[in-house]
Amino acid sequence: MSTSPEAADGLAVMPLADLEAELRAGGDGLTSAEAAARLERHGPNEIAEEHRHPLLVLAGYFWAPIPWMIEVALVLSLLVGHWADAVIIGVLLAMNGVVAYVEEHQAANAIAALKQRLSGTARVRRDGAWAAVPVREVVPGDVLRVRLGDVVPADARLLADDELQVDQSALTGESLPVARGAGDALYSGSVVARGESDALVYATGADSFFGRTTALVEAAGTVSHFQRAVLRIGHFLIVVAVVLVALISVVSVARGNPALETLEFALVLTIASVPVALPAVLSVTMAVGARQLARREAVVSHLPAVEELGGIDVLCSDKTGTLTQNRLAVSEPWPVPGIDETALLEAAAAASRAEDRDPIDAAVLAAAEARSVTPTGRTEQFTPFDPVSKRTEAAVRGVDGAVVLCTKGAPQAVVALCPEDPAASAVGERAEEFARRGYRSLAVARAGPRGGWRLLGVLPIADPPREDSAATVRAARQLGVDVKMVTGDQVAIGAEIARQVGIGDRLLRAGELDGRPDAELAETVERSDGFGEVFPEHKHAIVRLLQARGHIVGMTGDGVNDAPALKQADAGIAVQGATDAARAAADVVLLAPGLSVIVEAIGLAREIFARMTNYATYRIAETVRVLLLVTLAIVAFNFFPVTPVMIVLLAVLNDGAILAIAYDHVQGARRPVSWDMRSVLTIATVLGVAGVAASFLLFVLATESFGLDRDTARTLIYLKLSVAGHLTIFLTRTRGPFWSPPAPSRLLVGAVVGTQAVATVIAATGILMAPVGWGYAALVWVYALAWFLVNDRLKVAAYRLLQSGGVDGRRS
């Protein structure tokens, strides 16, 4: 059931009492039965995606430039009466469409399944108790609990007189958070930047403000560095193919060959030369990589991030929970002179709230309970921690009726409340001392009924490094990734933890970055080991400055204050337990704690890059091999070395098997990867030209030494192109000799052996071409294998020349 825009707008402004009557709901929320009935009536709380009919999707694969070329070739074959050609070309056309549809459909399903793991939950009141339910099951009439970092799951009205700061920039374009109080509307998709409260849902799904303005918030699709490079390769091959095929056509027609047959041959040759399988290979490789990452507890929410991970050379990591255990415990408290430990802990416990599940609050309350300290009085108002004030505050009414304010938080923030207190300097010195010992300090203060804050003391809190952090940092450095700590903690605390895990202790206070020229700042940021006392704007600036120095930057984060930096980074990584806002801004979401998952993900991304580089080198080499052979044969000798049917068979068998490269075993580079087209083109050209020489030599042997006619010689050349072409895959997958580890996957070997067995049967028995017999077929295999060994040595020599010239396209 849908609500009109006018009705939804009316619900956003009507008095709360009237809204509760309209929704037949109140502050106690709904029962499970009521919620189920409303879910059935209103539908799930999600924006329905437009799904095209599968047949229309399949038809779309036959309506594009490459399918058009194949379709024109099919029509020309029918016009000139080449029925066998027409059948084979029709099979190629169908195969390209069906394979692309199936593989990309599977890729889309895989990514959709992975994103389901990121589906959020909302805290709602059901059956008189708070419960976590999937966001899609939130219904009008539900009472929500929203707090700092939450993405509001549906349009709702605030019930309590609590002031919230809400970031609506994704919906309205407002750059600054807006204040919201009792009765005000919260829109689905906005982010709570400060405070917490209860709210009554009045619109969900397509009826929400977000649902009615999806056009304003849809992110434009971006193309990664990796995809742009692969597409450039495709465009390069198409241009080369078109130029050489045009030359072939002009020369052939000028020599009196039939125009229609020449045009058909030219079209088929172009089809075989352009990277028809490239989109499918890219989609399958990315989908396979995303599934592998998910098995390692890293879920990709933005697919191109799989590629960007491979190029990261700087990783900005937060500290708590990523490098440390995030298991806080209060050590021996330090009360200021004249204050006893009980009073200190009582005030700190009063400024904490268990239901917020904040780890610092939990540590303080556990310490108070362990020492049998129980807060007296009733908390009338509580202000939770936020990144701006860096403290919590509670108004507590004592048994005598007087209201006392208690606060705890970052020492500099609490000391700022009472700068005239004689203990201010002592608190600062004690916090510094604790920091040097690796403790995080909480200062505690209290204000009486007549006002005036008084410092009570400092609570040292320990959060030791994770056991695997030091080894993980070493592993990252071995991969060429520089790890920098970015933390909101004091510089001294961050430096101690950074030293323990091997990052280094050259941490800067983020405030030192303010007001300096960008050029000077960028160099300073690049040299440092990390930053302490960081605010959200500093994180964003740090990432931007590193990018200005040419670095590919990964950024980890978990809070709403990390979202801008996560968006700015080349690969934003939300760590385990991150807020909804951080997860929404990130490209990769970790489901396991620690930094090791990220390092594994970087290594896996480099393996994916290696597979794509192998495919690009192979595809360019094959284009050079086929196009150059045909061009030289026609221009120099007026001889067509292969027929259109042979070209089509080459394309069918090769493109059908090449998808297996997405599952090949490869070794990722030990350094951050980037495309070096000079290296790729050089190796591909060497292999392609060597292949042309081998084909011409085989033609000479077939006609001069073996006395074969030209039709039989064409079959020999076809089989040699097919067998040698697929053997090239095993050359391009390694930089050293072809036997270098790791061994190729069984799937890749099986695909190559299977397709070449079919090609051998076709050539030997003469299906759609002149038969050569099993003896000559075996001879072609021996010939191709011999040239395979020669080409392998040429490849190794070419790589050595490139390295000696300072070119290292894969940075291994």
Q: Which residues are catalytic?
A: 318
CA–CA separation, 375 and 442 (whole Å): 18
Say if CB 634 and CB 627 are below 8 A apart: no
CA–CA separation, 759 and 738 (whole Å): 23
CA–CA separation, 672 and 603 (whole Å): 10
Q: What are phi and psi of 483, to 5 degrees?
A: -95, 130
Q: What is the 3-state secondary structure (H, E, C) of 495-564?
A: HHHHHHHCCCCCEEEHHHHCCCCHHHHHHHHHHCCEEECCCHHHHHHHHHHHHHCCCCEEEEECCHHHHH
Say if CB 481 and CB 602 are below 8 A apart: yes
CA–CA separation, 318 and 715 (whole Å): 63
Residue at 663: amino acid letter: Y
Q: What are phi and psi of 553, to 5 degrees?
A: -110, 130
Asked whether the bond before 742 is cis by omega within 30 degrees of 0, the reply is yes
Say if CB 612 and CB 233 are below 8 A apart: no
SS3 733: coil
Buried b (16+ CB within 10 A) or exposed e, 364-389: bbbbbeeeebebebeeeebbbbbbeb
Say if CB 423 and CB 415 are below 8 A apart: no
Give the residue among 403, 401, 381 at the shortest CA–CA distance from 393.
381
Q: In what order do the strands lie in the sheet with 298-300?
A: 298-300, 588-590, 571-574, 553-557, 314-317, 482-486, 530-532, 507-509
**Residue 744: CB partners within 8 Å, gap ≥ 6?**
664, 665, 730, 733
To 10 degrees, the CA torsion angle through 263, 267, 272, 276? 180
Tell me the β-bridge partners of 509.
Answer: 532
Say if CB 486 and CB 557 are below 8 A apart: no
**Residue 539: CB partners within 8 Å, gap ≥ 6?**
316, 486, 555, 557, 561, 562, 564, 565
Residue at 226: amino acid letter: F
SS3 594: coil
Burial class (CB in 10 A: 0-12, 13-18, 19+), 432: middle
Query: What is the rounded radius of gyration, in angstroms, for the C-alpha atoms of the chain?
Result: 34
Give the residue among 360, 452, 346, 344 at the shortest CA–CA distance from 409.
360
Q: What is the 3-state secondary structure (H, E, C) of 275-334?
A: CCCHHHHHHHHHHHHHHHHHHCCEEECCCCHHHHHHHCCEEEECCCCCCECCCCEECCCE
CA–CA separation, 516 and 811 (whole Å): 35
Q: Between β-strands 553-557 and 571-574, what pairing exists: parallel, antiparallel or unpaired? A: parallel
- The helix (run of H) or strand (run of E) holding residue 592 is none
Which tokens sit at 494? 């961050």
**Residue 804 CB neighbour total at 10 angstroms:** 8
CB hemisphere CA count around 62 (13 angstroms): 15
Tell me the β-bridge partners of 203.
Answer: 155
